[in-house]
C-alpha cells in the first residue's frame, strides 16, 4: 500500500520566525506567530507529546509509541492535531499508523527565539 499523507491544516505563517527575545520588541505579526506556538505548547499534555516526538529515536514517532500520556486516545489525537495546526509537527500515514515529526525549522527557530545573549 502506498504511503499517503495525513491532511495538514497549517497556516503559512504558523512557524515561529522571530528574532531573539533579547534583540528587540516583537512586531504585532511576530507576536501573533510566537503566541500560536506558545499557546500550543502551553498545555502539559501537548508539551509531553511534542517532547516525546522531538526526543524519539530517528526524529519521528509513531502515535502508538507516544500515546501513553494519561489521557484517552481521542484526546491524544486532538492534541496532536493542535500541534500540527500550530505548525510544530508534521504527520504521515503509513498503513494503519500515523508517524509524527517535529519540523526541523521549528526547533531551529525556537532556539533562536529563546537564545540568551552571550555574557559580557
The model's pTM is 0.74
Q: In the structure, what pLDDT confidence band is assigned to residue 118 with cuts at 50, 70 and 90?
A: low
Rounded Cα distance, 104 and 119, in Å: 27
The torsion region of residue 62 among left (phi > 0), alpha (psi -120 to 50) and beta comes to beta
Nearest alpha carbon to residue 54 among 66, 42, 39? 66
Give 50-115 as a 3 state SS string.
Answer: HHHHHHCHHHEEEHHHHCCCCCCHHHHHHHHHHHHHCCCEEEEEECCEEEEEECHHHHHHHHHHHC
Residues 24-48 have pLDDT tens digits of: 888 898 888 888 888 999 999 999 9
pLDDT digit string, tens, across residues 61-111 = 998 888 888 898 889 999 999 999 988 999 999 999 999 999 778 877 777
Q: What is the pLDDT of residue 14?
A: 39
Amino acid at each position: 500500500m502506498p504511503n499517503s499523507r495525513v491532511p495538514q491544516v497549517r497556516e503559512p505563517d504558523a512557524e515561529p520566525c522571530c528574532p531573539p527575545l533579547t534583540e528587540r520588541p516583537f512586531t504585532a505579526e511576530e507576536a501573533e506567530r510566537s503566541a500560536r506556538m506558545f499557546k500550543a505548547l502551553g498545555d502539559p499534555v501537548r508539551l509531553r507529546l511534542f517532547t516525546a516526538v522531538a526526543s524519539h529515536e530517528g526524529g519521528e514517532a509513531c502515535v502508538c509509541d507516544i500515546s501513553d500520556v494519561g489521557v484517552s486516545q481521542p484526546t491524544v489525537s486532538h492534541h496532536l492535531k493542535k500541534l500540527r495546526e500550530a505548525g510544530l509537527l508534521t504527520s504521515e500515514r503509513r498503513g494503519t499508523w500515523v508517524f509524527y515529526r517535529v519540523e526541523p525549522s521549528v526547533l531551529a527557530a525556537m532556539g533562536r527565539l529563546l537564545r540568551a545573549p552571550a555574557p559580557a
